[in-house]
Chains A and B, each alone.
Chain A
């Protein structure tokens, strides 16, 4: 386990931000911490990256305690925070060389590493311009490049694409995907279900400082109620006859029937209709999106 937390708590005044977080992340995987603003995502990342002390519980990164062995933890991780922490009045190259020098690269090695990362993140043309002139996407790419100067085993990404336009977001996703293929463990937070769905092997949904769901994107979708079959009929009368036969929920000439998503079940539904002489015009199946999952898990007392 590269990340292992046990009952992690953090409160600010009377507000509980983390209410006993238990997490395990295996090396080489991608975990997305998903949740609305104020769910405790950033606090979790801040504790795991040694920036903030927890009030209770323990957290270990690569076996090192984040409080007592912070220096060792820092040797393993890199952090890309919520705001691109780049120096506006330095150029992209200067920012990278600075980090390399801080990481004890020699001067020539620093320059070489900076050049390599500029090329990799498509910043060669802007390398010697001040960051002040960069677009949001370029800043984020530089920010990510700065986190990769010394190759980390574990990379924290706190809302890596918040505020980016769709094009820049896709570019960031590609860059992150490439890191995954290189075997870097990634721990990211996001408010975007699409992002979690696309990047993560495992999604942990956080709400009010607690884990409300944990699993693969598919598992989460299944957990919230599975697939439904929508049947459209020529008339409401026909739909009514189908309802008497199959149950489900009817709206005008459409009947929605819950399903386990298997082909067998779909077959049976259609066979039953055929046998009863009720003719459906159209049929479609719907898998819940992660948005449905999210709403279902984080909205209290929703009727199923």
Chain B
């Protein structure tokens, strides 16, 4: 337990002191928010004020950047010998990943809080009750946790820090192919099929419904996706970490 806490302390301290990571997780969400609300938002018809529509999408988009930072931190530890040092010590070295995942969730929580605050400044008026908020944030937490473990696993097998950053390619592309920024009804049939059946759409729909007090239609699906992804990602990371000694 002390070991895990020490590793968490390490990762949190490292990400607090890494300017790139910090900017990526805090400045970027704000800029994306402004971009969507003021640049694209006016041209997108969602049947509601665009800022009310887009907040969940921005939060999920930012988790993609957050995950990329996590994968890069893990790859850096693999490359520069930190993982070797921990693995040669009589400790549970897997805690090094737990540390990075915890730091990742913390960064994302901070980014989410900032997105919500900035959104309120731009006219976001959520009508959610406290329970709705708790449910929405709980779901996002589950999703971020799953994504962070996936990123940690990716960092373990990435050949370099640069290839770990390739993760962002998928993480950033996926939200655009969902109902994050535009209703899926406007997409061509093929894209629409993809969008409606990928994990991000039910998660975003559920968070949006909770925050704007509209009926939740895909809550269980969102929970199943996030929970399932978490289990798979965690097992994958564990398996990959255990296989490092085969190299």
Contacts and interface: CB of A to CB of B under 8 A. Distances in A.
Interface of A: 46, 49-53, 71, 74-75, 77-79, 81-85, 87, 89-90, 94, 98-99, 101-104, 130, 146, 156
Contacts of B2: 101-102, 104
A125 to B, nearest CB: 21
B10 A51 contact: no
B75 to A, nearest CB: 14
A51 B245 contact: yes
Given A85-B81, A102-B3, A104-B2, A49 B17 contact: no
B197 interface: no
Interface string B16-45: 011000000000000000000000000000
Interface stretch (B83-91, B135-143, B183-191, B204-212): B83-91
Contacts of B89: 74, 78, 99, 102-103
Contacts of A74: 88-90
Nearest to A104: B2
Given A51-B245, A89-B18, A98 B88 contact: no
B152 to A, nearest CB: 17
A87 B12 CA distance: 13
B65 to A, nearest CB: 19
Interface in B172-229: none
29 contacts: A46-B84, A49-B88, A50-B87, A50-B88, A51-B84, A51-B87, A51-B245, A52-B245, A74-B88, A74-B89, A75-B90, A78-B89, A79-B84, A79-B88, A81-B81, A83-B80, A84-B81, A87-B14, A89-B13, A90-B10, A90-B13, A98-B6, A98-B10, A101-B2, A102-B2, A102-B89, A103-B89, A103-B90, A146-B85
Q: A-B pairs with the 9 shortest C-beta distances?
A: A85-B81, A79-B88, A89-B17, A74-B90, A81-B81, A101-B6, A75-B90, A85-B85, A49-B88
A162 B9 CA distance: 31
Contacts of A52: 245-247
A58 B84 CA distance: 21
A286 B158 CA distance: 52
Contacts of B9: 98
A103 B93 CA distance: 12
A119 to B, nearest CB: 22
A64 to B, nearest CB: 11
A261 to B, nearest CB: 43
Given A51-B87, A77-B88, 12 more contacts: A50-B87, A51-B84, A71-B90, A75-B90, A83-B80, A85-B85, A89-B17, A90-B14, A98-B9, A102-B7, A103-B90, A104-B3
A27 to B, nearest CB: 19
Interface in B101-116: none
Contacts of A49: 88
B232 interface: no
A85 B90 contact: no
A75 B247 CA distance: 22
Nearest to B247: A52
Contacts of B117: none
A87 B73 CA distance: 11
Contacts of B166: none
Contacts of A83: 80-81
Nearest to B3: A102
A102 B6 CA distance: 7
Given A83-B81, A89-B17, A89-B18, A51 B88 contact: yes
Contact of A87 (B10, B88, B244, B247): B10
A146 B84 CA distance: 13
Nearest to A55: B246
A282 B247 CA distance: 58
A43 to B, nearest CB: 10
A50 B244 CA distance: 11
Given A78-B88, A102-B6, A85 B245 contact: no
Q: A83, A89, A104: which has the most chain B beta carbons within 10 Å?
A: A89
A52 B82 CA distance: 15
Contacts of B3: 101-102, 104
A101 B80 CA distance: 21
A79 B85 contact: yes
Contacts of B14: 87, 89-90
A73 to B, nearest CB: 9
